[in-house]
Amino acid sequence: MTERPPLILGSTSRYRREMLQRLRLPFDVQSPQVDETPGASEAPSALALRLALAKANEVAARFPHAAVIGSDQVADLAGRPIGKPGDHARATEQLRAMRGQAVVFQTAVAVVCLAKQYEASALVPVTVRFRDLSDAEIEHYLRAEQPYDCAGSAKSEALGIALLRAIESDDPTALVGLPLIKTCELLRGAGVDPLIA
């Protein structure tokens, strides 16, 4: 049996860190130094995949013997990328645009281990159907949650669930930012199995 490589999460997201903790694997966290500017007319799904791979590869270059997880999420409203709002005004604008709409949260994950010459990635889309929200509901939600660091201002793991009519996905954890079913599959390919000590 080959030795399990150390595991690194290449992300500064506290949400992804909390998700990865569910697997009960020891891991380190490193901040990837990646320019997240979208390319001209780059589709949200392509952007999410490119950034997930770029984050994993950048950290793996510094830690070549580790299995490095990179992930990214881009909200897709009719082909238009919706990022993290950063402030209340932009969050209000985002939620007004998404009310009554179906938004696809394009969540990508990549695992890279240079020592094993392993690189794999996957896209796990989540379709979120928003209710036809009133301005008062949007304001109450934003004041309560302040989800300014969440793609599309939607924080479904808390009060944000009340914004929605439905969530459709093969992996419900993908909406929070790290699709754990696919992550486990990619990690097994790198020699890290959460069910084998």
pLDDT of residue 197: 66
Residue keyed to tokens 């999410």: 48
The catalytic residue positions are 72
Q: What is the pLDDT of residues 150-159, one digit of tens each?
A: 888 888 888 9
Beta partners for residue 123, in sequence order:
108
Which helix (H) or strand (E) covers residue 73, if one does?
A: strand 67-77
pLDDT string in tens for the chain (197-residue length): 568 999 999 998 888 999 999 999 999 999 999 998 888 888 999 999 999 999 999 999 999 999 999 999 999 999 888 888 999 999 999 999 999 999 999 999 999 999 999 999 999 999 999 999 999 999 999 999 999 988 888 888 889 999 999 999 999 899 988 999 999 999 999 999 999 86
What does the pLDDT read at residue 2? Answer: 65
Domain 7-189 architecture: Alpha-Beta Complex (3.90)
What pLDDT shows up at residue 36?
Answer: 86
Tens of pLDDT, residue by residue over 100-119, are: 999 999 999 999 999 999 99
* Length of the chain (residues): 197
CA atoms of 104 and 113, how far apart (whole Å): 29
Asked if 123 and 45 count as a contact pair (C-beta separation under 8 A), the reply is yes
Contact 65, 90 (CB under 8 A): no
How distant is the alpha carbon of residue 16 from its chain centre? Answer: 7
CA distance 51 to 167: 24
Q: Which residues contact 31 (CB under 8 A, 6 or more apart)?
A: 10, 11, 12
pTM beyond 0.85: the answer is: yes
